Structure 1
Amino acid sequence: MSLIPFTRWPDAFAERYRQAGYWLGKPLSHMLAVQAETQPEAIAVVCGERELSYAELDALSTNLAQRLANHGLGQGDRALVQLGNQAELYIVFFALLKAGIAPVNALFSHSRLELRAYAEQIRPRLLIASRLHPLFQNDDLFLAELQQLAGIDTALLHADGLAQRGLAAWLQPVAAGCDFAPTPADEVAFFQLSGGSTGTPKLIPRTHDDYYYSVRRSVELCGFDRDTRYLCALPAAHNFPLSSPGALGVFVAGGRVVLAADPGPASCFALIAAQQVNVAALVPPALSLWLQAAPGHEAELASLRLLQVGGARLPEAQARRIPVVLGCRLQQVFGMAEGLVNYTRLDDDDEHVYLTQGRPMSPDDEVKVVDRDGRPVAPGQVGALLTRGPYTIRGYFQSPEHNAQAFDAEGFYRSGDLVQLRADGYLVVVGRIKDQINRGGEKIAAEEVENLLMAHPAVTHAALVSMPDPGMGEKSCAFIVSRDPTLKAVALRKYLRGLGLADYKLPDRIEQVAALPMTAVGKVDKTRLRRRLAEQLTVTE
């Protein structure tokens, strides 16, 4: 019986993965223990003016784990965490792993709706958040709302002046206490967030075994070592900057993570120079800003050797500019929080680096590309991507109805991506089946926004579709049918923000129409809406 229920890999697959050496039977906190023992004084994290050594990161996380255990929290409990790009995110993450508490790490951009949804699903006993976030900044109304909703009995707030619940106080050494231990390696270590297309956010249970393998294999392919200086400028809780190889890969390799508040050139270029950063990870919209700002800053970027780009499809023209403008090598990354990660290899030729999104990283990654009837397509033909493997989940957390759609009878995960699988095993991403908008790497579920729009008393129908954008890749346009012809876009955005919707999910454009076009089976015809939008944009250009 699992401490936290989740869909396990079938026994035959689990045994195969253990025999192959993918699953080591060790907790994720093992990576930190190795470095704290072998190079305790080496710097692990740079956060503003602060530097944390591996010994300090290990000690602070142990202090917190011990205090949580003394407070009655441990194996099988869950935590809701919302911290930004700060050293405390890693301290808390390792503390919870050590104590056997499974967290879901909400992004700092998430607001009321997302946090409520996560709390309802995992029923956390523990909340760790920040007074710097607007929801917790001025009063404790939302904190009380979460506590009542999910039964949270312990809340720790970063940057809180109240000692009894300030996170800083819980990081101090404790003289004695209860024993604590991580969950077994084949149990849930933490939850990742899905960027899926349904209105309710889905949670991804990741075990120590599968996630640790994903990180270790990424380190091998990306060449991380003790000399790696990794710039974490994307949201640190995101799967990409956390594990591909991300910060955890740096900790496995014994390198250094340099945290940036945001991926903008103004904050990143100086950090690269000051910390001699040699690896960075970006999504295409941030890359565009770097390419625009780089001329004249060659000296600041001189240490940069490798730039990873993922989160959204990278246009070939942008890809080819990276070595010329930024003076570094490009590595394309195409992955998903549910598992499968693809990389272009460091020794690939230009054709593969610029024109593909890489190939699966594990010898036991299984990939199928199929047509609408589930039949394999010929190499190079477009089809739907299905995958399974030693670090790809077999089911979302407590979501049987969705799992029936997302996984086939053989345990293959339907990613919702439309891809071409080349004869040499490399993937080219061409689109998505799922109804979601990829706004600069942030996935927006259309159904979620549509439901909130239709909650407005004047809105009778709504449909959210993507529209191309040179900076973000995609932005969103909401088509609405309203009882009030004078209803303004600014009023609707204010309404959605008042409901607690994150800013990046707010429609970038709102069009009021008399009626939404329908398909023959009575569904909103979003193809026609996208076509109409494309025609409008062409006229305005």
Structure 2
Amino acid sequence: MQHRGRHHRGEFRMSAGARMRAQEILDAYEASGHLRRRSLCEELHEVCLRHSERRAVVAPDAELSYRQLDLTIAHWARAFLEAGLSGGDQVLVQLPNSAAYLVSLFALMRIGAVPTLMLPSHRHSELVRLARQLRPVAYIGGRDQLGFDCVAMVEEADPQELDIRLLYADAGPEYAGPAPCHRLPPLPGTADPEPPPLPVAGPGHRDAALNLLSGGTTSEPKIIPRVHEAYACNARAAALRCGIGPDSVYLAVLSSSHDFPLAQPGVLGTLLCGGTAVMCASAAFDEAFAAIEANRVTVTAIVPAVAQLWNEALEWYPAQLSSLRQILIGAARLDAELGRSLMARTGALIQQGYGLGEGITTFTRLDDPELVALGTQGTPISDGDVLRIVDPQGRQLPAGVVGEIIEKGPYTFLGYHGAHADDDCFTADGFLRTGDRGYLDADGNLVVCGRVVEQINRLGENVSPHEIEHFLGLIGGVREAAVFGAPDEELGERTVAVIVTDGPLDRRRVMKDFEEQGIARYKVPDEVIVVDAIPRTNIGKVDKEALRAMTQQRTERTD
């Protein structure tokens, strides 16, 4: 099989100067001992040897010991090589939480290919834009992700848009052709698989292990390459802060294509500590509560909107959650009263955290007082992390004063891939500009206050108002659109679109048009308001404060 545009051994495009700076950064953190000069594959293999008979993964499609996990990864790596994949190939992965997802991820890493973790909610629009940036060789997807056939989405796309040469599906028929479709290799049953006939050479510890995706504030997804040794450092440090060990049983209810449930500490941090990762298809309370009881789950991670739903369900649902010791909360600030209620109903401690795919992770500590645990996002997880709050001129601000959060540390990424490769996201002295606003309290705990550039945090998904305004502008009859977030008890924030049109238009029409454009469902506005004119400030900018006030008045009248 011939491939064009390969990047050798998982490398990503950088200027010569940027590459030199990246190497200097890695050199420094290797010398300090924060980075271990080992790939994620090497680290997991060592864990599998130490804990061979312990339970590693529990999922709807398989239950694997560490020995079975290690051997299955090797078998799948060999199968991917035989199908024509090799080091440096970019591969789109869009699978549900499953054993197949984890084995695919590590098998691709094992051969030096670079998986890009698409979200289950991504549709044709995101697929095409990723393909344009990454020029992927292959796609691995699920036939039934909460009722949607992701593989069929790829099969029905214009081949010239994607130029994907190989498909893998977790179910359904195989077929030949210009882009043949293979079934993923079988997972083992109760017996161990036979060792693979030949060893597979692993990636370098400084290669890109995988690509995370960030919605950012633009229509093009930001592709975040995470280096093997740095991402391993991130997962280990998060696991240490959260008390993860061999006896931990971690439940993944959020999509593990997100950084938070994947490695903060997530399934990766749990596996690197010899614990058990339980994969759940969704965060629905009945499914999650059953998994907690059946597997004696000790820790899970959710977002505040899910916490609200679970807390309400616990008023009446007969759940047995006695094994649950802690609940990690991320992606948005948790209401303190909700936190207290959830702790009382579950008997579990809450650890709040803050993080982004590009770098810094903070968590409160297990022994923090309730005021800190419920009122802050804690402190950085590594002693190599440096966190500052600065004003628009880059001057460091004192405790209690809100500014932009900037950071650097051993696991901070080294730059974007693709359309955003040239983004100037670092300060002259190497700090990453996170784009988030917050402050440090007197004890150094971080309190996150929002975004420097507006985003909507809808059920843990970042929605860019600018992107939604662009999509609305493509609908016939829409002359102007303004999009913003409004507080919502169930979603955290709901997406509100105020539009000026040449004729009647409602949310059903918008939903239908977005679906025809192949846009992810979570980006469809939750509320569409048609007005004669959009209010503006005295300098001509859209007055979103006036729009929010108008929306609040409408909500109060409805209530």
Aligned counterpart, 2:466: 447
What one-letter code is carried by the residue in structure 2 that aligns with 1:167?
R
Which piece of structure 1 moves more, 529-538 or 147-156? 529-538
- Matching residue of 1:113: 125
Change (3 A) 1:51 1:400: closer
Give 3-state SS (helix, strand or coil) of 2:510's partner: helix
Contact 1:159 1:166 in 2 (8 A): no
Instruction: Please list, as runs of the form range in 1=range in 2, the aligned pairs for 1:79-228 lying within 5 A after superposition.
Output: 79-133=91-145, 137=149, 140=152, 142-143=154-155, 145=157, 147-162=159-174, 165-169=181-185, 180-228=200-248
1:272 equivalent to 2:288? Answer no
Partner SS for 2:205: coil
Question: Which residue does 2:509 correspond to in 1?
Answer: 491
Secondary structure of 1:438's partner? strand
Which residue of 60, 79, 85 corresponds with 1:67? Answer: 79
Q: Percent identity?
A: 35
Question: Which sits farther off after the overlay, 161-170 or 337-346?
Answer: 161-170
Relative distance call for 1:306 and 1:171 in structure 2 (3 A) is closer
- Please state how far the C-alpha of 1:175 moved relative to its aligned partner: 9.4
Q: Where has structure 1 moved over 6 Å in runs of 4 or more?
A: 170-179
| Secondary structure at the counterpart of residue 166 of structure 1 | strand
**Alignment deviations for residues 143-173 of structure 1 (CA, whole Å, 9 cap, x no partner):** 2536432321111111123277333347697
Q: What's the offset of the Cα at 1:42? A: 1.4
Once residues 182 and 288 of structure 1 are traced to their aligned partners in structure 2, the CA distance between those partners, rounded to angstroms, is 43
- Unpaired segments of 5 or more residues in structure 2? 1-7
- Aligned residue for 1:145, secondary structure, equals coil
What residue identity is the alignment partner of 2:507? A
- Contact 1:196–1:434 (8 Å) recurs in 2: no
Correspondence 1:537 to 2:555: yes
State the Cα distance separating 1:11 from its structure 2 match. Answer: 4.4
Amino acid at match of 2:536: M
1:535 offset after TM fit, Å? 3.3
Give me the whole-angstrom Cα distance separating, in 1, the residues matched to 2:60 and 2:338. Answer: 30
Q: Is residue 312–residue 440 contact of structure 1 (8 Å, CA) maintained in 2?
A: no
Deviation at 1:538, TM superposition (A): 3.5
Deviations 1:317-347 (A, max 9, x none): 1122232111111111111111100000111
Query: Are the equivalent residues in 2 in contact too, given 1:481–1:513 (CA < 8 A)?
Result: yes
The verdict on how the C-alpha distance between 1:421 and 1:141 changes in structure 2, with shifts beyond 3 A counting, is: closer
> Partners in 1 of 2:50 and 2:392 — Cα distance?
52
Deviation at 1:394, TM superposition (A): 3.1
Q: CA deviation at 1:12?
A: 4.1
Distance 1:10 1:110, change over 3 A: closer
Residue type at the aligned position of 2:330: G
Q: The residue matched to 1:434 in structure 2 has which SS?
A: coil
Distance 1:182 1:17 in 2: 22
Amino acid at match of 2:522: Y
Provide the residue aligned with 1:525 in structure 2.
Answer: 543
Partner of 1:343: 363
Question: How far apart in 2 are the matches of 1:395 and 1:175?
Answer: 38
State the secondary structure of the residue aligned to 1:30.
helix
Say yes or no: does 1:482 pair with 2:501.
Answer: yes
Distance 1:11 1:90, change over 3 A: closer
Please give the secondary structure, in 1, of the residue aligned with 2:101.
Answer: helix
Q: TM-score, normalised by structure 1?
A: 0.94
Equivalent in 394, 400, 404 of residue 374 of structure 1: 394
The secondary structure found in structure 1 opposite 2:184 is helix
The residue that corresponds to 2:344 in the other structure is 324
Name the CA distance, whole Å, in 2 between partners of 1:222 and 1:175: 35
Q: Distance in 1 between matches of 2:339 and 2:109?
A: 37
TM-score (structure 2 length as normaliser): 0.91
Shift of residue 501, structure 1, vs aligned partner: 1.3
Q: Which residue of 2 aligns with 1:509?
A: 527
In the comparison of the two structures, how many residue pairs are matched? 539
Name the counterpart of 1:313. Answer: 333
Report the Cα distance in structure 2 between the residues aligned to 1:134 and 1:332, rounded to whole angstroms.
28
Say whether the 8 Å CA contact 2:115–2:210 is kept in structure 1: yes
Task: Tell me if structure 1 keeps the 8 A contact 2:436–2:451.
Answer: yes
Rounded to whole Å, the distance in 2 between the matches of 1:251 and 1:495 is: 42
